[in-house]
């Protein structure tokens, strides 16, 4: 039974889910806003909050951990900019705005963006 399990599987294997989140993180830091399903947005929000909090530390080890997750140089620069912007804020860097259902499959859609 999956009682009290807080990770969403999103109907994917672990490696596929990891790649999906990585790609969404890179896209998010490139544009600072993504339209996706509500479940993916909630899962992405967890990762974005962790990455920005790591970026706020500003030491070499933190940047290496971010680079290990993202593996994308221009996204790393964006993380540094965003972390500098939110240096006085203790979490809550993103907001999820719910949209109407998608036409094709009636999936709950949402926009995730920086506050």
Other beta carbons less than 10 A from residue 46's beta carbon: 14
Q: What is the mean pLDDT of the chain?
A: 95
Listing from the earlier edge strand, what are the strands of the sheet with 108-114? Answer: 33-37, 108-114, 94-101
Using the predicted structure, report yes or no on whether residue 6 has a pLDDT greater than 90.
no
- pLDDT at site 31: 94
- pLDDT at site 38: 97
**Whole-number Cα distances in Å, 3 to 7, 8, 11, 96, 100:** 11, 12, 17, 25, 29
What is the Cα–Cα distance from 50 to 87, expressed in whole angstroms? 14
Percent of all residues in the chain with a pLDDT value above 70, rounded to a whole number: 100
- pLDDT at site 103: 95
Rg (CA), the chain: 15
Which of the four pLDDT bands, split at 50, 70 and 90, describes residue 91?
very high
What is the Cα–Cα distance from 86 to 102, expressed in whole angstroms? 32
Structure tokens at 114: 């920086």
Using the predicted structure, report yes or no on whether residue 2 has a pLDDT greater than 90.
no
- pLDDT at site 7: 85
Domains plus CATH for the chain?
Answer: 14-114 (3.90.1030.10)
**Averaged over 92-111, what is the pLDDT?**
97
**Averaged over 77-104, what is the pLDDT?**
96
**Whole-number Cα distances in Å, 86 to 38, 49, 55:** 24, 11, 10
**Averaged over 4-18, what is the pLDDT?**
92
């Amino acid at each position: 039974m999956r009682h009290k399990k807080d990770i969403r599987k999103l109907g994917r294997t672990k490696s596929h889910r990891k790649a999906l989140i990585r790609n969404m993180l890179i896209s998010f830091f490139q544009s600072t806003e993504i339209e996706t399903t509500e479940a993916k947005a909630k899962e992405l929000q967890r990762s974005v909050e962790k990455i920005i909090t790591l970026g706020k530390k500003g030491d070499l080890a933190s940047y290496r951990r971010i680079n290990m997750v993202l593996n994308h140089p221009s996204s790393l620069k964006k993380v540094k900019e965003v972390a500098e912007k939110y240096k006085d804020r203790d979490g809550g860097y993103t907001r999820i705005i719910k949209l109407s259902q998608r036409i094709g499959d009636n999936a709950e859609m949402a926009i995730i963006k920086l506050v």
